[in-house]
Amino acid sequence: MDLIYNSVGIEVTRRCNQQCHNYCMRGARQNLDISFEYIDLLLDLGRNHYQYIDHLTFSGGEPTLNAEAILYTVDKIISEKLPVFYLSLMTNGLIYSDMLVEAFEKFNDYYNSVIVPIKLVKYPSKDRERAKTLFKDKGSSIVFSNDQYHQPISDEVLNLYYRNGQHISFGMTGLRAEKDLLRSGFSTKGREICGDDIRIFGDLVWDLVYLTAKGNFSSYGDGSFDFLDETSKDFSVVDYTLNDFCIEKLSLVSKPSHPVLKNCVQKKIKKLV
């Protein structure tokens, strides 16, 4: 059963160059980078049988501190022609990484030459030229955390990204209201984390599937490292495929159309009764 994954996250590192006390939902930083073997297992098409991953995001810690893992992921996607449609990450904007720009620029070339033609198939031929222009260079984005909780972003760093990453989209978080914070890790304000079900509508896995730096699957992308570890400890990527994990976490409110998924919902209901 080949599923479409709306959103997949990879926690490439738990290192960070800041300490946002009173705010950081991760809690204390850790000296831990993801192993490339976990990235291989996550993206292996023969093992996971995905139709495509619509959005792959790199998370941390501060993800630019492990640009090697990001470049490794991009090289894997390109060399194996994997159906990954979009890449993004959020950074505190204090580090300029040439390797990250190289990775995202490389991915953009791949996106323009391999992914855009796949996307265009859905369009009637008369609309394809216009759609192609709209899709061009929309393969990756970097968002800078310029909210009131982080140290101010370095102008020098920003300028380097803008100058060298001309095919990358850039954005800013802007100021964040207190209700947008998460009460976890160092943060004592904001909303609680809730719900660990994965909803699947038709063939589409709607919720984020997150791979921690320890190589475990989580249906949460947010929360402290301790919380992620506790809730993901039984779901190692070594033992679970993407598909197996989603079925394990399948939500009863989703409406899967595939008979196998319908069966899973029914089994889950029986277990609860």
CA nearest 33: which of 61, 13, 60, 7? Answer: 13
For ligand SF4, the binding residue among 3, 9, 10, 26 (CB under 6 A) is 26
Q: Would you give the binding string for ligand SF4 spanning residues 83-122, x where CB under 6 A is met?
A: ---------x------------------------------
Identify which of residues 77 and 181 has a Cβ nearer to ligand SF4 in the complex.
181
C-alpha 156/C-alpha 24 separation (Å) is: 25
Enumerate residues 6+ apart whose C-beta is below 8 A from 72: 36, 39
Strands (E), 68-173: 87-91, 140-144, 169-172
Min dist CB 253 to ligand SF4, Å, is 31
> Which phi and psi (to 5°) does residue 48 adopt?
-100, -15
Q: Would you give the binding string for ligand SF4 spanning residues 132-161, x where CB under 6 A is met?
A: ------------------x-----------
Is residue 50 within a helix (H) or strand (E), and if so which, with residue range? strand 50-53
Enumerate residues 6+ apart whose C-beta is below 8 A from 223: 25, 26, 182, 184, 185, 193, 231
Min dist CB 60 to ligand SF4, Å, is 6
16 lies in the site for ligand SF4, by CB under 6 A: yes
Report the sign of the C-alpha dihedral through residues 133, 135, 137, 141, in that order: positive
Q: Which region among 21-29, 45-53, 116-124, 192-200 touches ligand SF4 (by CB under 6 A)?
A: 21-29
Min dist CB 183 to ligand SF4, Å, is 14
Q: Which region among 57-65, 81-89, 111-119, 130-138 touches ligand SF4 (by CB under 6 A)?
A: 57-65
For ligand SF4, the binding residue among 8, 48, 60, 161 (CB under 6 A) is 60
N-terminal to C-terminal alpha carbon distance within the chain: 27
Min dist CB 90 to ligand SF4, Å, is 8
Report the sign of the C-alpha dihedral through residues 76, 74, 118, 219, in that order: positive
Q: Which region among 17-25, 129-137, 231-239, 262-270 touches ligand SF4 (by CB under 6 A)?
A: 17-25
Min dist CB 31 to ligand SF4, Å, is 13
Q: Which residues bind ligand SF4 (CB under 6 A)?
A: 16, 18-20, 23-24, 26, 60-62, 92, 150
